[in-house]
Amino acid sequence: MRGLMMDEPLTLAAILERASRYFPHIEIVSLRPDGTLSRIEYGALAKRVRRLARALQEAGLARGDRVATLMWNHSAHVETYFAAPLAGGIVHPLNLRLHPDEIAYISGHAEDRFLIVDDVLWPVYERFRDKTRFERVWVVPFSGMRTPPGAESYETLLAHSSEDFEFPEIDENDAAGMCFTSGTTGRSKGVVYSHRSLVLHSMAECMTDCLGISQSDTVLSLAPMFHVNSWGLPYTCPMAGAKLLLPGCGCSAEDLLDVMEEEGVTIACGVPTIWLGVLDALHKNPDGWKFRGPVRVLIGGAAPPQSLIRELDRFGLRVIHAWGMTETSPLATVGRLKESMREWKDDRKYETRSKQGYAVPLIRLRLMRPEGEAPWDDATPGELEVRGPWIAASYYNAPEAANRWSPDGWFRTGDIATIDPEGYVKILDRSKDMIKSGGEWISSVDLENALMAHPAVREAAVIAIPDEKWQERPLAVVVLRDGEHVEPAELEKFLSTRFAKWQIPDGFVFTKEIPRTSVGKFLKSQLREQYRDWHAPSESSKEE
Q: Which residues are catalytic?
A: 181, 327, 436, 441
**Applying CB under 8 A, does 339 fall inside the site for a copy of itself?**
yes
Residue 1 lies near a copy of itself (rule: CB under 8 A): yes
**Does residue 128 belong to the site contacting a copy of itself (CB under 8 A)?**
no
d(C-alpha 292, C-alpha 285), whole Å: 18
Position 22 contacts a copy of itself (CB under 8 A) = yes
CA separation for the pair 404, 221 (Å, rounded)? 29
Site for a copy of itself in 450-479 (CB under 8 A): none
Crossing angle between the packed helical segments 272-284 and 306-314, to the nearest 10 degrees: 40
Residue 351: Cβ-neighbour burial (10 angstroms; 0-12, 13-18, 19+): middle
Strand partners of residue 508: 476
Classify each residue of 104-117 as buried b or exposed e, where b means 16 or more C-beta atoms within 10 Å of its C-beta: bbbbebbebbbbbb
17 binds a copy of itself (CB under 8 A): yes
- Of 374-433, which residues contact a copy of itself (CB under 8 A)? 387-396, 409, 411, 422-423
DSSP letter, residue 405: B
Counting contacts by CB under 8 A, is residue 29 touching a copy of itself?
no
Beta carbons within 10 angstroms of residue 255's beta carbon: 15
Binding residues among 51-70 for a copy of itself as defined by CB under 8 A: 63-64
From 101-109, 353-361, 470-478, 482-490, span contacting a copy of itself (CB under 8 A): 353-361
Is there binding between residue 223 and a copy of itself (CB under 8 A)? no
Residue 438's identity, in one-letter code, is G
Residue 442 binds to a copy of itself (criterion: CB under 8 A): no
In angstroms, what is the minimal distance from the CB of 400 to a copy of itself?
Answer: 15
Residues contacting 337, CB < 8 A, separation 6+: 344, 349, 352, 353
Nearer to a copy of itself, 360 or 452 (CB): 360
Q: Which of 132, 147, 153, 214 binds a copy of itself (CB under 8 A)?
A: 214
Range 174-213, binding a copy of itself (CB under 8 A): 174-176, 191-197, 199-200, 203-204, 206-209, 212-213
Q: How far is the CB of 409 from a copy of itself (least distance, A)?
A: 7
Q: Which is nearer to a copy of itself, 208 or 540 (CB)?
A: 208
Nearest approach, Cβ of residue 189 and a copy of itself (Å) = 11
Residue type, 406: S
153-164: buried (b, 16+ CB within 10 Å) or exposed (e) per residue? Answer: bbeebbeebeee
Q: Does residue 511 belong to the site contacting a copy of itself (CB under 8 A)?
A: no
The Cα 489–Cα 17 span in angstroms is 61
> Which of 453, 502, 5, 39 is CA-nearest to residue 262?
39
Binding range to a copy of itself, per CB under 8 A, among 233-241, 277-285, 473-481, 526-534: 233-241
Candidates 111, 115, 100; CA nearest to 148 is 115
* Minimum distance of a copy of itself from residue 450's CB (angstroms): 28
Decide: is 110 part of the binding site for a copy of itself (CB under 8 A).
Answer: no
Q: CB of residue 75 vs a copy of itself: minimum separation in angstroms? A: 20
Query: Segment near a copy of itself (CB under 8 A), from 32-40, 45-53, 252-260, 356-364?
Result: 356-364
**Of the candidates 166, 290, 293, 340, which one interacts with a copy of itself according to CB under 8 A?**
340
Q: Residue 323: CB partners within 8 Å, gap ≥ 6?
A: 300, 330, 332, 333, 334, 335, 356, 357, 425, 427
Q: Which of 233, 259, 265, 359 binds a copy of itself (CB under 8 A)?
A: 359
**296 contributes a contact to a copy of itself by CB under 8 A:** no
- What is the enclosing helix (H) or strand (E) of 282? helix 272-284
Alpha helices by DSSP H, listed for 459-523, are: 488-496
**# residues contacting a copy of itself (CB under 8 A):** 69
Task: Count Cα neighbours of 22 within 13 Å in the Cβ-side half-sphere.
Answer: 15
Q: Where do contacts with a copy of itself occur on this chain (CB under 8 A)?
A: 1-8, 10, 14-15, 17-18, 21-23, 25, 63-64, 90, 173-176, 191-197, 199-200, 203-204, 206-209, 212-216, 239-241, 338-340, 358-359, 361-362, 364, 387-396, 409, 411, 422-423
